[in-house]
Amino acid sequence: MKRLLLFIAILALSYGFFQSKNFLSIAAGVAIFLFGMKSLEEGFRFFVGGLLDKFLKNITNNLYKSILFGTVITTIMQSSGLAAVIAISFISAGLISVAQGIGIILGGNIGTTTGAWLIAGLGLKISIATYALPMLVFGMLFIFQESKRLKGIGYALAGLGFSFLGIAYMKEGFDAFKATIDLTQYSADGFMGLILFAAIGAGMTIVMQSSHASLVLILTALSASQITYENAIALTIGANIGTTITAILGSLGAGYEGKKLATAHFLINSLTGLLLICFVPQFITFIDYTAPFFAIPAHDYTLKLALYHTYFNLICVLLFAPAVHGLVSLLNHLFQPKITAEGAIDDVLYISDVALDFPDTAEATLLKETKHLYNNVYDIIAQGISVTKEDIGSGMEAEDILKRRDQALHVNMDDYYERRIKEIYGKIINFAIVAQGKFSDISDHQFIPIKNATIGIIEAFKAAKHMQKNMLRYLESDNEYIKSEYNHIRKNLIKHLRTMQMIFNTTEEDVAVLLLSKLQLDAQNYDIAANKSLDNLIRTNKITYTMATSLMNDTSYAYTIASELSKVAHILFMHSSTHVENSSEALILNETEVSDLTHTTSQRSTS
Amino acid sequence: MTGLKFIQKMKELFGLSPEDTETTKKKAIKELIKKLKLRHILLKQELKNETDLIKREAMHDSIKILKKQIKKGKEIIED
């Protein structure tokens, strides 16, 4: 279907180019303009790493700052679509809330009005192509430079140059059209005319994927008197509705949070459009009345259209900014996360194509998905030692949990791996590798440690799986000594898993720093104590040599689980967005420092 | 408001004021040491009232860790 549409579009355009040179000039202008916009966006991405994250952290919990952020980004980039893409990507990664995302979208609507003023005020009044050519030359010069920043400036300059050139071509095409054909004869009056032209405006924006390009086209056509002022207003309303399609397409690869934002964008622009289309004649009078305050001459319809565009978007913000929380509630009701049934195959919750748009979103997504995987592995390790994760989180003493769960819990760990681990693990590793390749300059400290944490989680799972066989056998054994040893392993692992949960749940930095060091100390202490106990049991013939071998192996597996999970907790804590402080890491004790403490502890125990 | 002041204000608004990373890190460590010291005092008090041997052992370990962490932090600040 898509290919057929493309073929029809190529045929129609070719026929149009053959029939009219001016049509070719306008179409080429649009194409060059769109290419310029893409280039400008590319230039922006060179500056994004880290900077955007800082910006977004400072707009947290403040709708008006989000609106300001959206306005600034769109004014600089001249693309509200990009503001929407940023918002969707950051929402999908959980870095900002839906309310903040809506703020960015509303700000984007305001930012887009600056473009209309620039084009109407300057672009159509001066020979813009004169500035385009030097920009292209300097832009190319910068693009060939090694420095990322200079490259970014180069792309931005070239982007602006191409956009200006595109506008010049469109203007030339419409001016030449004026001499041969009068498009105003196809204008439509009345309410039906407004609806028709709004639909055309929405359609052309969907095709071009840029309301900015549509606006340029409308303004150039209006300046060449090829469309009427009323029809231009209707086209502008349509363009504002059509632009939401960019966000909807962008959200297709995003999670349900991204879809919420795309729907919000569509609702905000469509409802404002539908409301204002009913009052176009009244608005024209209002603009005629207010235009002199902005020194806009009565006959300058392009500037009047820019003023209309500004009013439209301001109304949008004024109508919806106070209603953002209500809108979020509605969206929460409409879009809900899918819940994986007990027996069903669990899949990734956060990884999506849009998460790879920016390094910060890729890191946050990777981190969240790794925590999702950890939760599943935590669940199965708990079952592997014949308790449940609810037991561990209950606050009961470890000894009491063991008394309550004195029977072995037969759970198929291979089946669990297939259902709730394999798919997620594979996708995380794949995502991390793609992110490493895409953002190679920062991958060493952002993606590789989290990928290693994922591998550590799986190592812990494997150790738990190996341990489970003997655990099941000896928990039901008549030999009280071996049973007691396995219960000792269980008790230590329960404590370890509990400490891990405390680290993930705490908001106090000092508690987390203390617990992270304690995890390591406990793992080492336990290893020493278990070996001593094992020696004693063998010497006194309280267990058979087969039991001793099993216990020796399983003690080693238990140590693997504890040490791997300690490393995982350390990495996930350090990369967690709420605790990204280098100071914390500096105070967490390293292996040698923990060994020193273990040494003094064992000395105290023996003395 | 002068141009420079305006830029400074905007930087502050978006959290882009350039600060010496070393100073910021030391400041954060100082803050963290304060919290750790407080935690150390609290644990010592709890230890006095604790009668369970296993819990006392765990508290002893935590106090030792805290001592070492506070010492480590002080060394970093003095460097």
Tens of pLDDT along A91-113? Answer: 877 778 888 889 988 998 898 88
Q: Which residues in chain B have their CB less than 8 angstroms from residue A581's CB?
A: 28
For residues A560-573, average pLDDT? 89
For residues A283-299, average pLDDT? 87
For residue A607, is pLDDT > 50?
no
CB contact under 8 A, B65 and A508: no
pLDDT tens-digit map of A136-189? 999 899 888 877 778 888 888 898 888 888 888 887 887 776 666 666 666 677
Among residues A606, A554, A561, A566, which one has the least CA distance to residue A590?
A566
Predicted TM-score of the model (pTM): 0.74
At CA A309, angle to CA A308 and CA A312, rounded to 5? 85
State the amino acid at position A90 in one-letter form. Answer: F
Give me chain A's average pLDDT, please.
83
pLDDT tens-digit map of A575-591? 775 444 567 778 888 88
Point out the residue among B32, B68, B76 whose CB comes nearest to the CB of A510.
B32
Q: Is residue B8 part of a domain?
A: no
Locus of tokens 């005319």: A193
Residue from A518, A583, A607 whose CB has the most chain B CBs within 10 Å, to mutate = A583
Q: Which residues in chain B have their CB less than 8 angstroms from residue A498's CB?
A: none
Q: Which residues in chain A have their CB less than 8 angstroms from residue B28's CB?
A: 581-583
Size (chain A), residues: 607
Does an H or E element contain A85, and which?
A: helix A80-92
Q: Is residue B7 part of a domain?
A: no
At CA A374, angle to CA A370 and CA A375, rounded to 5? 120
How much is the pLDDT for A299? 84
At CA A25, angle to CA A19 and CA A30, rounded to 5? 120
In this structure, what token pair is assigned to residue A481? 């000594």
Q: Is residue B65 part of a domain?
A: yes
Point out the residue among A65, A509, A518 whose CB comes nearest to the CB of B65.
A518
Point out the residue among A65, A510, A586 whose CB comes nearest to the CB of B39.
A510
How much is the pLDDT for A600? 65
CB contact under 8 A, B28 and A583: yes
Taking the Cβ of residue A586 and every Cβ of chain B, the question of whether any pair is shorter than 8 Å is answered with yes
Residues 6+ apart with CB under 8 A from A399: A491
CB contact under 8 A, A521 and B76: no
Among residues A9, A17, A15, which one has the least CA distance to residue A203?
A9
Work out the minimum CA distance from B4 to partner chain A, whole angstroms.
19
CB contact under 8 A, A593 and B62: no
Taking the Cβ of residue B63 and every Cβ of chain A, the question of whether any pair is shorter than 8 Å is answered with no
Residue from A498, A502, A510, A524 whose CB has the most chain B CBs within 10 Å, to mutate = A510
Residues 6+ apart with CB under 8 A from A133: A161, A165
For residue A463, is pLDDT > 90?
yes
How much is the pLDDT for A605? 47
Point out the residue among B14, B35, B66 whose CB comes nearest to the CB of A509.
B35
For residue A541, is pLDDT > 90?
no
CA Rg value for chain B: 20
How much is the pLDDT for A457? 95
Helices and strands in chain A: count of H runs, count of E runs: 27, 0
Give how far Cα A261 sits from Cα of A73, A186, A307, Å. 17, 37, 27
How many angstroms separate the CA atoms of B36 and B32, rounded? 6
State the amino acid at position A202 in one-letter form. Answer: A
Find out whether A362 and A439 touch, Cβ atoms under 8 Å.
yes
For residues A551-563, average pLDDT? 90
Q: What is the end-to-end Cα distance of chain B in Å, rounded? A: 40
Between residues B8 and A311, the one the model is more confident about: A311
pLDDT tens-digit map of B4-47? 666 666 666 555 555 566 777 788 888 889 999 999 999 999 88
In this structure, what token pair is assigned to residue A549? 């071998």
Taking the Cβ of residue A508 and every Cβ of chain B, the question of whether any pair is shorter than 8 Å is answered with yes
State the amino acid at position A386 in one-letter form. Answer: S
How much is the pLDDT for A579? 45
Q: Residue B48 sits in which domain range?
A: 21-78
**What is the domain count for chain B?**
1
CB contact under 8 A, B15 and A525: no
Q: What share of chain B is helix, strand, coil (3-state, %, to 5)?
A: 85, 0, 15
Work out the minimum CA distance from A317 to partner chain B, whole angstroms.
21
Taking the Cβ of residue A522 and every Cβ of chain B, the question of whether any pair is shorter than 8 Å is answered with yes
Question: Which residue does chain A place closest to B70, by CA atoms?
Answer: A587
Task: Return the number of CB contacts < 8 Å for A and B.
Answer: 74
Q: Is residue B73 part of a domain?
A: yes
How many angstroms separate the CA atoms of A71 and A79, rounded? 10
Point out the residue among B13, B16, B69 whose CB comes nearest to the CB of A587.
B69
How much is the pLDDT for A56? 66
Other CB atoms within 10 A of residue A450 CB: 24
Point out the residue among B15, B38, B65 whose CB comes nearest to the CB of A521.
B65
Question: Which residue does chain B place closest to A519, by CA atoms?
Answer: B62
Locus of tokens 């930087």: B11
How many angstroms separate the CA atoms of A524 and A318, rounded? 61
Q: What is the end-to-end Cα distance of chain A in Å, rounded? A: 82
Work out the minimum CA distance from A278 to partner chain B, whole angstroms.
40
For residues A425-433, average pLDDT? 93
